Amino acid sequence: MNLNILEEDKEKLKLELKGDTGTMTHLLAKRVWGEGGQAAAIREHPFMKEPAIVVVGNNPRKLLTKAATSIVANCDELKEEFRRALSK
């Protein structure tokens, strides 16, 4: 997945996620809200544009990084749960 910054200032960041189906943008947006920011997943047209996310808040790069880190931590936990369940 490639990230392309479309717009950025100190309180807004708009990223295009090439190769995403919309799943990651929606998940990231939900997690950004949990970090105290505001975010929206955007999909203008499924065949014409790549999915994007707009993050608004104080330091949107930090908000997005915290959201992504949280997702990775949850995936690591899930992987460990699967490993334990399947090793029985």
Q: How confident is the model at residue 71 (pLDDT cuts 50, 70, 90)?
A: very high
Indicate whether 70 pLDDT > 90. Answer: yes
Alpha helices in 1-88 (DSSP H): 23-34, 60-86
User: Domain tally for the chain?
Assistant: 1
Average pLDDT, integer, range 37-53:
89
Average model confidence (pLDDT) across the chain = 94
Distance CA 57, CA 65 (A): 13
What's the predicted TM-score (pTM) here? 0.85
Average pLDDT, integer, range 32-58:
91
Distance CA 17, CA 64 (A): 13
The residue written with tokens 């392309």 in the block is 4
Domain around 63: 2-86
Q: What is the enclosing helix (H) or strand (E) of 2?
A: strand 2-9
CA angle, 82 then 74 then 70, to 5°: 165
Q: How confident is the model at residue 23 (pLDDT cuts 50, 70, 90)?
A: very high
Q: How confident is the model at residue 26 (pLDDT cuts 50, 70, 90)?
A: very high
Q: How confident is the model at residue 1 (pLDDT cuts 50, 70, 90)?
A: confident
Q: What is the domain-level CATH number for residue 9?
A: 3.30.1360.10
- Close Cβ partners of 8 (under 8 Å, ≥ 6 residues apart): 14, 60
